[in-house]
Every structure is written in C-alpha cells, then in structure tokens.
Amino acid sequence: MTHPEHALVQKRGAWGLISAVLAILVVGVAIRLLSPAVFLDIGALWPIGAALLALGWVIRRIWPTAPLALAPVTPLVVFTWLVFSVSLHFTDIGSLPSRSADLRGPPVEQVGFSTLAVQMREGRLTVSTGTGPSAYQVEMTRRGGGAGLPLAVESAGDQGGEITIIDVRDPLPFDLDLPVQDNPWLRSAGWKVGLHPDPTWNLTLAAPEVSLDLRSVRLAGLAVAGQGDIKVGTTSTPTQIVLSGSFNIEVPAGVPVEVLGAAIVPEEWTVEGDTAWLGDRGAGWNITVMDESSAQILTAPG
C-alpha cells in the first residue's frame, strides 16, 4: 500500500471514529443516559476546535513534510474537540450552557427565610448540605431525563420568608404572572439541592424519587412525598417528620424516635398498636406515616 493510500485509510478511520462518538452521544440522549445539553456545550466550545485546527495548519506550514501533510490532522482535531467538550460537560464550569439553569440563592446572611418547598413532576430530587455562602443552590444533574428547568420563587412575610422551587412548566405559586420560558434542551434526570447548614430549615419536598442526606442540616420540620431514602441527624428538640409514600429513613443511634403509622422498626423498639418508639416518647424525631404509605426505620451504624 502506497503512502497516499495508507493516509486515505487513516483519514477514513479517523472520520469513522468521530461518527461513532456522535452516534454514541445521540443514542445516549435518546435513552436518557445523557442530557441534551451536552450538544449545547459542544457547540459553545467551538472556539477550542477552531484554535486546534489553526494550530494544526500552522504546524503544517512550518514543517511541510510528507508524513505530516498526509496525516489526518483535521479529523483528529475534531475528535479531540468532541472528547474535551464532553469531558467539560460533566464538570462544574458555570459558564457552559448546561449550567445556565442552575440556581444560586442570596448569601445566607442576607436572607430572612428558612422555609423551603420543592415540587418536582419528574425525576430524582437529591438534597444535602450545600457548599459556599449561598442560602441554597439547585443544580441539574448531567444525566438525561424528564426533569425541567427549576424555578425559584422567594416570598417575604411577617412570619419570615419562603422559597418555592418548581418545574418551570408548572403553574407559578402565589398567583404570580411572570414570563417564564421552558427549554427542552435542558432536560435532566433531576435536581440536586444544597442547603446552607446555618439556618434551621422547615422543608416540604415532593418528587417521584428522593435521596435526602440531612444529617448536617438543622430541621424545624420535614414533610416528604414520593419514595426513596432519607438520612437525618440528631435533634435536641421534638421535631416532626411527615411521610407520604414509601421510604427508608435512617436515624442516629441513641436519638429518641417515635413513629405513628405503618412502619418496620428495629427489634429493640417498643411497639403498641400503630405506634412504635425508642427512648423517651416525643423527645426527638416524631415521624408520622400517612395513610397508604409505609416506612422502614434503620439505625445508623455507630
């Protein structure tokens, strides 16, 4: 095989590799493994591809040797741009289009609210301790799914303020009439909500699936609808938890807990009718399992 023929085979193979990468991305979006926003990020990073192509052209002009002239520089540059762009899609770079839907609340010292409600129509809601100075933050996951753009509405009142986070496709709370726009390119598998650990939060959460790690979040009350896993920490005052759905809830060892409703509890608990408790009744977590709902109470190891 001559050098030109060998170079042609290399170029065809390189372009075929690019086609395979694009096909994988399309299939990944179609089966909701990836968010459609990956294509927005790839398009937004076109200057990187252009810069690499310009660099390749300059190198060829400086060293115009035959092997370099026949090398599949263009497809290799395009492949590098695609791989680099997809890699950045999964990072926390805030300037990418996929991050345009993420929310950041005001600094915690500037707010007077600690009541937060989240309502999701599709997807998985993850709540944990946030990072940074914001009172709250909402990030969309990198996987594909049916969750839409999160919209945060903050209200103030005599008894303190409230934050309501909804899907932008849902009716606005408080009878608000604001121009909001949906973007199907920014669909994802769910939202990740981070809460600043300083306030004492009163939470009302509803989503098809939830994963709540509230061990470092101070709670005044918690109401959850859906199904999934909940972890709570210690509490020094009686604190109400209301569950609507099917949940596994993990509590620290030695913390008083009382459960009313259908629940599976550890063997060492006291059970009387539809009530079960450990420790002093009413002194710690007071869990109410609503009708047609269920819960399994687990004790955290250690």
The mean of the pLDDT values for the chain is 86
Alpha-carbon distance 246 to 248, whole Å? 7
Query: Tens digit of pLDDT for each residue in 51-86?
Result: 877 776 676 666 666 554 455 667 777 888 888 888
Q: What pLDDT does residue 179 have? A: 72
Query: Tens digit of pLDDT for each residue in 237-278?
Result: 999 999 999 999 999 988 999 999 999 999 999 999 899 999
Residue 255 has phi, psi (to 5 degrees) of -90, 130
Q: Which of 189, 188, 219 is nearest to 204 (CA)?
A: 219
| Domain limits, the chain | 3-89, 104-299
Burial class, 22, CB count within 10 angstroms (exposed 0-12 / middle 13-18 / buried 19+)? middle
Query: Tens digit of pLDDT for each residue in 174-185?
Result: 666 667 788 899
Confidence of residue 109 (pLDDT cuts 50, 70, 90): confident
Q: Which of 87, 4, 6 is nearest to 41 (CA)?
A: 87
Query: What pTM, to 2 d.p., does this model score?
Result: 0.86
